[in-house]
Amino acid sequence: MTNSELFAVIRTKISEVSEIPAPEAKAGAPAHEGKPYRDPYLFVSCPAAKWTDLSRLLKEDPQLDFDFLVMVTAADYLTPEPKMEAIYHLYSFKHRHKIFVKIPLPRENGSVASVISLWKTADWQEREVYDMYGMKFSGHPNMKRILMWDGFPGWPLRKDYAHIPDRYDD
Amino acid sequence: MTTEVIKLQGADLQTEEMILNLGPQHPSTHGVLRVILKLDGEVITGADLDVGYLHRGTEKLAENRTYPQMLVISDRWDYLSAMSNNLVWCLAVEKLLQIQAPPRADYLRVIMVELNRIASHLVFFGTYGIDIGAYTPFLHAFREREKILDLFEEVSGARMTYNYIRIGGVMADLPADWIGKCRSFLEWMKERFPEYDTLLTGNPIFQDRTKKIGVLTKENAIAYGVTGPNLRGSGIKFDLRKDEPYCSYDKFQFDIPVGQDGDCWDRYWVRMQEMKESVKIVEQALDGLPAGEPNAKVPRILRPPHGEAYAQLEAPRGALGIYTISDGNDKPYKVHVRAPSFINLTMLQEILIGQKVSDVVATLGSIDIVLGEVDR
């Protein structure tokens, strides 16, 4: 299926989902900056409240059938407005199509539904995102740090993370 | 007298769960990995994995380095196949910059990555033998790997952290008569495979220790996001070199070995066959090596336009991916490494349950993890 057909299938079931348009060159940007690049897959934005419905649809609808969760990550933005995004990349072995889902969240106390019941690989990947960005995944049975140690101060991959000097700095 | 009778009947026998720590410092964990096993007698009822001992904050480092500088750090993820790491980083940055490496660079990249795949699988072959209790294969495997590392040393100057594949091409063209040395190595290597079969593959003790052990079903393999030889061992024919060819992999003839049962034996067998396929690919690449420049024209200071890219390739351990966001600066805004070892290791907590303690090391070894990549 093409991207627009994929999006039409999703849109008929969940109307809150919107397509993220490909980035365009900023007006007045110098020529040497070149054209912005984005992979030719479908990028959708989904409100956090609808992610449970959308994830189930993506996994279980026979036309979509996204059975493989490739990766989970997040991105942190301070400008233009402070926000975070949880990013899911899915793939279908049967139909060979791909999708990126981005879920906008507030920077403080952001929470998104865990998809561990649909894709077991979300277990560690969501823990890693929590570890690095501090966003909670509700419904995850073991939501604690994975790469950093318990009691580590702060969320390392946030853009306003400040390193506190400790005994390893010398 | 009476107490003895009761004990025989088992009425007051106190049985309790035992906790056994495997690692973090244990040779069979292939690095610093801690597995907390819950045991009922000799049967495993639960396995908690503790990772992160080798965490170096790659993704944070990437945000503070320019694109070419990050290439040096990419060597340190999966240090047994640094060429794949170099390549995936270059593919991601080339996507953002929208440049294409010339055909000669593509072929050189394929040669290096495939030689590195053989070297990486040889380490698996050797260490897996040690895990099971056979020491000799290790010596054979490292003798062969040494020859590959010598070849790499000639082209890149390094034995483990190559930094050879660069954005837009490769570091330098091949040295004189390198192709001849590589060909004679391949010929020599082909005769080693039957030796391996007599050493380990055909050994009945080895087969008993691996067959029907650590079974990963097709459904679980997909649910756990497993890729690479582990996925193919479970009977799913998926290989990014065939399914989403990059670097002109579509020009080469090779097979994708696939297992049936998803047990340790199948994962082992798939890797052994993959080495033979890699030899075929390198031979074809040497035959068809195009003439020309090994480097594309790349600006001195890389400032990719704002945008995002996901690049992935078939590393020896599975699908290695880079997701990067550029904001137009000379440093990436965000980098995420989809490390196959990290994701493959997740399945261990499920497939260990119900097995005996003695099979833990056999199962862990068959997943073939590199802790540098798990923790990044």
- What would you report as the CA-atom Rg of chain A, rounded to the nearest whole angstrom? 18
DSSP B200: I
CATH, residue B88: 1.10.645.10
Residue contact B236–A125, C-beta within 8 A? no
Residue in B closest to A117 by C-alpha: B223
A16-38 confidence digits (pLDDT tens): 888 888 887 776 666 556 788 88
Q: What gap in Å lies between CA A132 and CA A125, rounded to an integer?
A: 11
Predicted ipTM > 0.95: no
Contact call for residues B231 and B238 (beta carbons, < 8 A): yes
Q: What angle do CA B134, B76, B265 make, to 5 degrees?
A: 30
| CA B190 to chain CA centroid, nearest Å | 22
Largest Cα separation within chain B, whole Å, is 92
Alpha helices in chain B (DSSP H): 2-9, 58-63, 67-74, 82-97, 103-132, 136-156, 178-190, 192-196, 204-210, 218-223, 229-233, 240-243, 264-287, 340-345, 348-351, 360-367, 371-375
Q: Could you identify the residue written with the tokens 């290791």?
A: B345
β-bridge mates for residue A91, sequence order: A68, A98
B92-115 confidence digits (pLDDT tens): 999 888 888 899 999 999 999 999
CA distances from A110 to A132, A156, B19, B354 (A): 13, 16, 36, 38
B218 within domain boundaries:
yes
Domain of residue B253 covers: 57-347
How would residue B22 be classed by pLDDT, with cut points 50, 70 and 90? confident
Neighbour order of strands in the sheet with B318-326: B307-315, B318-326, B334-338
Q: In which element (H, E) is residue B45 found?
A: strand B43-50
Q: What gap in Å lies between CA B348 and CA B144, rounded to an integer?
A: 30
Residue in B closest to A30 by C-alpha: B305
B40-90 confidence digits (pLDDT tens): 888 898 888 888 888 988 998 899 899 999 999 999 898 898 999 999 999
Determine the distance in angstroms separating the CA of B256 from the nearest CA of chain A, rounded to an integer.
Answer: 16
Q: What gap in Å lies between CA A33 and CA B122, rounded to an integer?
A: 44
Q: Which residues of A touch B309 (CB under 8 A)?
A: 37-39
Specify the number of domains making up chain B: 1
B83 within domain boundaries:
yes
B15 within domain boundaries:
no
> What value does the mean pLDDT take over residues B186-199?
90
B226 within domain boundaries:
yes
Q: Which residues of A touch B314 (CB under 8 A)?
A: none
Q: What gap in Å lies between CA A123 and CA A133, rounded to an integer?
A: 16
Residue contact B223–A120, C-beta within 8 A? yes
Q: With CA atoms as reference, report the closest residue to A115 among A104, A132, A105, A101.
A: A101
Q: Which domains does chain A have, with CATH numbers?
A: 3-17+41-138 (3.30.460.80)
B29 within domain boundaries:
no
B165 within domain boundaries:
yes
Q: Which residues of A touch B303 (CB under 8 A)?
A: 33
Which pair of tokens denotes residue A29? 């940007």
